[in-house]
C-alpha cells in the first residue's frame, strides 16, 4: 500500500490542528473537605475514633484516581491528649481560627467542663466555627459549643445523662433530650458516644449521597441509619424513677397496650386517685401518664413495623385504635408517618435505588 503523504500546510489547515492543545472544559473534581476533630484532656475516646473512622472509611471508597473526599486532622491545644480510657495519642496543633474549614467536630468527654472553663479554647471554638461551613458536636461536646455561644436559640441534643445539667447551665438553648442527633442550620449536635457514628454517617450522606454512606456502614457493620428522631434509650428506661414505684405499672402497660389505658384505669391500677396519680407520676417520670402511654405504644409500634408488620395490624395491637391515630402519634414523636418508617427501617427492605434507608444491620462489604 502506498504511503499517504500530507504536507505541513495542508495539515495545519485541518480543524483538528486548530483546536487548543488542552480542552477548554476540564472535568470538575470535588474538592477535599477539610475536617478537624477537636480534642482536650479527658476526651471520650469513641467520640473521636467513631466519627474519624467514618470519614476515613469514606476516603477508602473514593474512585481510583480521585482525591479523597475528606482531609482529616485531630487537633488540640496540647501535642498529646490522654482520653478517658487512659489512652494517650498525638494531636496536631490548633490551626489559625480564621483558616477556611469545611467541618469542625467537637468531641465530648469528662474533660469537657475543664475545656469550657478555658477562655482561650472557648474563644478559638467560637472563631473556628465562624470560619467553618459546618460545626458539629458529639455527646457532651455540645457543652463547649454552648459555652462559645453557638447554640443560643438553637435546637440541640447532648448525652442523656447530662441533659439536666446542660439545661441549667444554658437555658437559652432549645435542648431536646431524646434524638440521636439534631441539625439546626449549619450546626449539628449528637447524643451520647456512639451517636457520633450516626451523626458522621449523616454528614457523609449529606456530602456524598446515600450510596456512599451505605458503603461505609456496611464496612463498619453498623446501622444505616437510625433515624435522627429515635430516642437515645428505650422508653421504659427513660420512665424509670429512683424509687421505682411505677415499674410494675410500666410492665403491665407494656403487656396490655391494646387495652383501655385511660387515666382512670392507670390510677386504679396504681391504687391512687386520678388527681394524685397524675401529680405523682409526673414528678417521678417527667411526663404525663397520657404522654408516657403514647411513647410506649409508639416504641412497640416501631418494633412491629421494623419486623414488616402491616400498619393496620400495628395500630390495632398497639392500642391506637385507628391508622390515623397511629400516624398522628408517629408524626408527633418521630417526625415521620408509620408507612414511611416501615419503608425505611423494616428488616430485609433494601434501598433499591429509591433513597429509602435500611434499618437492618448492615453486612460487611463482600467485595473487600
Residue-range domains of the chain with CATH? 33-220 (3.40.50.880), 235-345 (1.10.10.60)
- Buried/exposed code over 314-329 (b: 16+ C-beta within 10 A; e: otherwise): bbeebbbeebeebbeb
- Find, among 179, 28, 167, 48, the residue nearest to 106 by Cα: 48
> By the 8 A CB rule, do 339 and 299 touch?
no
Beta partners for residue 182, in sequence order: 189
All residue ranges of the chain with pLDDT < 50 are 1, 11, 17, 19-28, 228, 348-368
pLDDT of 253 = 94
Q: What is the pLDDT of residue 27?
A: 45
Q: In this predicted model, what pLDDT tens digit does every residue of 112-141 receive, in sequence order?
A: 999 999 999 999 999 999 999 999 999 999
pLDDT of residue 231: 59
Catalytic residue among 39, 116, 139, 318: 139
Return d(Cα 351, Cα 354) in angstroms, integer. 6
Q: What's residue 230's pLDDT?
A: 56
Active site (annotated) includes residue 139: yes
Q: In this predicted structure, what is the pLDDT of residue 358?
A: 31
Amino acid at each position: 500500500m502506498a504511503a499517504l503523504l500530507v504536507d505541513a500546510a495542508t495539515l495545519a489547515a485541518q480543524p483538528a490542528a486548530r483546536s487548543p492543545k488542552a480542552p477548554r472544559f476540564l472535568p470538575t473534581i470535588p474538592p477535599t473537605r477539610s475536617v478537624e476533630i477537636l480534642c482536650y484532656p479527658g476526651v471520650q475516646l469513641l467520640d473521636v475514633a467513631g466519627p474519624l473512622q467514618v470519614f476515613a472509611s469514606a476516603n477508602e471508597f473514593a474512585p481510583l484516581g480521585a482525591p479523597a473526599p475528606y482531609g482529616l486532622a485531630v487537633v488540640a491545644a496540647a501535642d498529646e491528649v490522654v482520653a478517658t480510657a487512659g489512652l494517650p495519642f498525638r494531636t496536631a496543633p490548633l490551626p489559625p481560627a480564621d483558616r477556611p474549614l469545611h467541618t469542625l467536630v467537637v468531641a465530648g468527654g469528662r474533660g469537657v467542663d475543664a475545656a469550657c472553663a478555658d477562655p482561650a479554647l472557648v474563644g478559638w471554638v467560637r472563631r473556628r466555627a465562624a470560619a467553618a461551613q459546618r460545626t458539629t458536636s458529639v455527646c457532651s461536646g455540645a457543652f463547649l459549643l454552648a459555652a462559645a455561644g453557638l447554640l443560643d436559640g438553637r435546637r440541640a441534643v447532648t448525652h442523656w445523662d447530662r441533659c439536666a445539667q446542660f439545661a441549667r447551665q444554658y437555658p437559652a438553648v432549645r435542648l431536646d433530650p431524646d434524638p440521636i442527633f439534631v441539625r439546626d442550620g449549619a450546626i449539628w449536635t449528637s447524643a451520647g458516644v456512639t451517636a457520633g457514628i450516626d451523626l458522621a454517617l449523616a454528614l457523609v450522606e449529606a456530602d456524598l449521597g446515600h450510596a456512599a454512606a451505605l458503603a461505609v456502614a456496611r464496612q463498619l457493620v453498623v446501622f444505616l441509619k437510625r433515624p435522627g428522631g429515635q430516642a437515645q434509650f428505650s422508653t421504659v428506661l427513660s420512665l424509670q424513677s429512683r424509687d421505682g414505684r411505677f415499674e410494675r405499672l410500666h410492665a403491665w402497660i407494656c403487656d396490655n397496650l391494646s387495652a383501655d389505658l385511660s387515666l382512670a384505669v392507670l390510677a386504679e391500677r396504681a391504687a391512687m386517685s386520678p388527681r394524685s396519680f397524675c401529680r405523682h407520676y409526673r414528678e417521678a417520670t417527667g411526663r404525663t401518664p397520657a404522654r408516657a402511654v403514647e411513647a410506649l405504644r409508639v416504641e412497640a409500634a416501631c418494633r412491629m413495623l421494623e419486623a414488616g408488620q402491616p400498619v393496620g395490624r400495628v395500630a390495632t395491637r398497639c392500642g391506637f385504635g385507628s391508622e390515623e391515630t397511629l400516624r398522628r402519634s408517629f408524626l408527633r414523636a418521630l417526625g415521620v408517618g408509620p408507612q414511611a418508617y416501615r419503608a425505611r427501617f423494616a428488616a430485609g427492605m433494601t434501598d433499591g435505588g429509591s433513597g429509602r434507608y435500611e434499618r437492618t444491620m448492615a453486612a460487611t462489604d463482600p467485595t473487600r
